[in-house]
Amino acid sequence: MLFHRRQPRLKFQPPQKGEELIRFEHLQKSFGPKRVYDDLMLSVYAGETLTVIGGSGTGKSVLLKCLIGLLRPDAGRILFDGQELNDFREEDFIDVRRHVAMVFQGAALFDSLTVGENIAYPLREHFPHMPPDELRARVAEKLRLVNLPGIEDMKPADLSGGMKKRVGLARAIATDPEVILWDEPTTGLDPVTTETINQMIRSMQKQLGCTSIVVTHDMMSAFSVSDRIAMLANRRIVQVGTPEEMRVSTVPEVRAFLDARRGEFESQVGVGVAP
């Protein structure tokens, strides 16, 4: 457990709401001959919910993974709270992941552990000396926050898909992160559970003041939860704007993307119709 003894590399001072918290600057990333980003620029501000949309394979998930050090950019900079992450070593990213939690697509719970043990897992990792009572209290508090109080002793196999997602969220927020990354949070869920997850995203912002970056194909969800939406196409961010600005966008890539998905959400948001 070498990382418990080392000095934290990240000096994190939570910024005021609305201040820049994350900046992707001139990012380049390729996998072999496949260029994913050429010159990607994007800022994320403290307290906002920003959704990244874009076609399949445009690099939405790669962006989240670069932020928490699971992948490294080839060139350009990623700044978190003003600190450049490029020369962070593998173990330095543990500090970043304490402040930036990822809710994975498939919830990724450990099947052999109970729900309570799953949520306690990151707490044990980041706070190895936390007393058992406090650990239990924190687990119970997080389960209450995701509206699943008292299910500590259940096993993941006994949960529905939506419950698993919420337990995944409880685990992600166990360490009280300032930033939550949501990778396709509503994929494969029925409409009722989708709305529950959308409410969770909004409530994390309201109740905990979290900054969220959401990656989704689900335009209903994007329009419902976002303060701003960023569109990834042609290896860069082609537009960032409020849902209203995106809805009436004349940027060709955005227009084409939204028009192709018009049926999914037009009755709800009236896409393409000027306000």
Q: How many residues bind ligand ATP (CB under 6 A)?
A: 12
d(CA 107, CA 192) in angstroms, rounded, equals 18
Q: Contact 177/99 with Cβ under 8 angstroms?
A: yes
The verdict on 110 binding ligand ATP (CB under 6 A) reads: no
The verdict on 51 binding ligand ATP (CB under 6 A) reads: no
The neighbouring-strand residues paired with 183 are 215
From the list 54-62, 82-90, 106-114, 129-137, the region that binds ligand ATP by CB under 6 A is 54-62
d(CA 130, CA 167) in angstroms, rounded, equals 21
The verdict on 33 binding ligand ATP (CB under 6 A) reads: no
From the list 40-48, 56-64, 152-160, 260-268, the region that binds ligand ATP by CB under 6 A is 56-64
The verdict on 57 binding ligand ATP (CB under 6 A) reads: yes
**32 CB-contact burial (10 Å; exposed 0-12 / middle 13-18 / buried 19+):** exposed
Q: Contact 18/45 with Cβ under 8 angstroms?
A: yes
SS3 2: helix
Residue with tokens 């309570």: 116
The verdict on 68 binding ligand ATP (CB under 6 A) reads: no
Maximum CA extent, the chain: 57
How far apart are CB 179 and ligand ATP at their closest, in Å? 18
Choose which of 34, 87, 157, 250 interacts with ligand ATP (CB under 6 A): 34
From the list 52-60, 157-165, 204-212, 262-270, the region that binds ligand ATP by CB under 6 A is 52-60
How far apart are CB 165 and ligand ATP at their closest, in Å? 17
d(CA 136, CA 152) in angstroms, rounded, equals 9
Binding to ligand ATP (CB under 6 A) within 184-223 occurs at: 217
Residues that bind ligand ATP (CB under 6 A): 31, 34, 36, 54, 56-62, 217
